[in-house]
């Protein structure tokens, strides 16, 4: 591929600076040290990049809203009983499919379980899967990508071929094949699968930014002064590669939550009695005509959660990449 796409679908090409109005560019350069756009490696000190980004983020309503939503989700995934007193597994078949009533605002699902309680408790699973899978993907992807980008050569070519292989396999399809035979009731197989198929995305980003960072003059200078590989990697290159990896990971976190729900919907992800939005949506879909509330509440919660993470990632990327403004 002549160009690569980041998770947002925007082309991450380094060229095409574009002619901004002279006066504006000049006025800006006077005020701030130019922090290079993401992917091309900041030319200035990383600190100015981060503090600039933070200054932008604080003023960005999208960031504030999505960060608050995420904070809320994290809190209720840690302590769901804060806002839901019931037990998600305590069900009463006699009340199956009943609609909203006092004390049970979201009504009951097909098994007569309280939809509100289940929706609240579902947060924990989605957040756990998202966070753990993202951690795994980020660590594996950036470690392999960083090493490939830094050392290059045969290892790099081999790794690139391997990522090509993983890219050629459709994700949902791979999930169906791999997870259809798993009988475990834990969240680990799903996380393992996401890491297995997801690391290539972070790998490409990390590799790319390490390669650009490696070409910076101060890296050449450090090497000329006799710095060791590990020192150069840790002190000079990692700080430059971190920003793009964080951005991609934040957005990916949202998509992983969606992926878990999709796999659970297809019946190969998490399995009951685990409380998961995907399972509940799947269970509700046959009754969509008579009792749409069973589907709408967990689906809404899922959409809001994924949206919050994607919007957060989007805002962070815009803040870190002055070029796209």
Partner 1 sequence: MLLEVRDLHVEFRTRDGVAKAVNGVDYGVDAGETLAVLGESGSGKSVTAQAIMGILDIPPGRITGGEVLFQGRDLLKLKEEERRKVRGAEMAMIFQDALSSLNPVLPVGDQLGEMFVVHRGMSRKDARAKAVELMERVRIPAAKERVKDYPHQFSGGMRQRIMIAMALALEPALIIADEPTTALDVTVQAQVMDLLAELQREYNMGLILITHDLGVVADVADRIAVMYAGRIVESAPVHDIYKVPAHPYTKGLLESIPRLDQKGEELYAIKGLPPNLMHIPPGCAFHPRCPMAQDVCRTDEPPLYEVNGEEPARRSACHFWRECMNG
Partner 2 sequence: MGRYVVRRLLQMIPVFIGATLLIFLMVNVMGDPIAGLCGERQCDPATAAQLKKEFGLDKPVWQQYLTYMGNVFTGDFGTAFNGQKVTELMSTAFPVTIRLTIVAILFEIVIGITLGVVTGLRRGRPVDTSVLLFTLVVISVPTFVTGLLLQLLLGVEWGWIKPSVSTDATFGELIVPGLVLASVSLAYVTRLTRTSIAENRRSDYVRTAIAKGLPRQRVIVRHLLRNSLISVVTFIGTDIGALMGGAIVTERIFNIHGVGYQLYQGILRQNTQTVVGFVTVLVLVFLVANLLVDLLYAVLDPRIRYA
Contact code string over 8-27 relative to partner 1, x by CB under 8 A: -----------x-xxxx-xx
CB of 50 or CB of 167, closer to partner 2: 167
Do 97 and 110 touch, CB atoms closer than 8 A?
yes
- Judged by CB under 8 A, the residue of 4, 13, 28, 285 near partner 1 is 28
CB of 176 or CB of 222, closer to partner 2: 176
- Judged by CB under 8 A, the residue of 99, 105, 170, 272 near partner 2 is 170
- CB 53 to partner 2: min, Å: 19
User: CA of 160: how far to CAs of 149, 165, 168, 195, in Å?
Assistant: 10, 9, 12, 17
Contact code string over 240-269 relative to partner 2, x by CB under 8 A: --------------x---xx-xx--xx---
Does residue 273 have a cis peptide bond before it, meaning omega lies within 30 degrees of 0? yes
Do 146 and 238 touch, CB atoms closer than 8 A?
yes
Chain centroid to Cα 137, Å, comes to 9
Q: Return the sign of the alpha-carbon dihedral for residues 70, 75, 76, 78.
A: positive
- CB 246 to partner 2: min, Å: 19
Select from partner 1, partner 2, none the partner in contact with residue 289, using the beta carbon and a kind-dependent cut-off of 5 to 8 Å: partner 2
Residue 31 near partner 1 by CB under 8 A: yes
CB of 30 or CB of 168, closer to partner 1: 30
CA distance 282 to 306: 18
CA distance 201 to 141: 7
| Angle in degrees, CA 123, 101, 122, rounded to 5 | 10
Contacts with partner 1, residue ranges (CB under 8 A): 19, 21-24, 26-28, 30-31
């Amino acid at each position: 591929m002549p160009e690569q796409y980041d998770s947002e679908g925007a082309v991450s090409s380094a060229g095409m600076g574009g002619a901004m109005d002279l006066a504006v560019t000049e006025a800006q350069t006077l005020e701030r040290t130019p922090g290079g756009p993401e992917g091309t490696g900041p030319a200035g000190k990383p600190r100015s990049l981060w503090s600039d980004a933070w200054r932008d983020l604080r003023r960005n309503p999208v960031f504030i809203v999505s960060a608050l939503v995420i904070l809320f989700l994290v809190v209720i995934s840690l302590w769901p009983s804060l806002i839901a007193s019931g037990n998600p597994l305590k069900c009463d078949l006699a009340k199956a499919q009943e609609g909203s009533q006092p004390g049970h605002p979201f009504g009951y699902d097909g098994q007569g379980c309280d939809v509100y309680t289940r929706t609240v408790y579902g947060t924990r699973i989605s957040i756990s899967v998202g966070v753990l899978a993202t951690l795994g993907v980020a660590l594996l992807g950036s470690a392999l990508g960083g090493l490939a980008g830094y050392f290059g050569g045969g290892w790099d070519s081999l790794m690139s071929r391997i990522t090509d292989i993983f890219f050629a396999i459709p994700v949902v399809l791979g999930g169906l094949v791999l997870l259809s035979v798993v009988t475990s009731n834990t969240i680990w197989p799903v996380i393992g699968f996401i890491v297995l198929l997801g690391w290539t995305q972070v790998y490409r980003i990390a590799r790319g930014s390490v390669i650009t960072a490696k070409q910076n003059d101060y890296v050449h200078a450090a090497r000329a002064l006799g710095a060791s590989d590990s020192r150069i990697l840790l002190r000079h290159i990692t700080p430059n590669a971190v920003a793009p990896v964080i951005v991609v990971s934040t957005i990916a976190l949202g998509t992983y939550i969606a992926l878990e729900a999709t796999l659970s919907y297809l019946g190969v992800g998490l399995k009951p009695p685990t409380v998961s939005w995907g399972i509940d949506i799947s269970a509700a879909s046959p009754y969509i005509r008579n009792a749409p509330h069973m589907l709408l509440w967990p689906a809404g919660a899922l959409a809001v959660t994924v949206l919050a993470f994607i919007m957060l990632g989007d805002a962070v990327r815009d803040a870190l990449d002055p070029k796209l403004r």
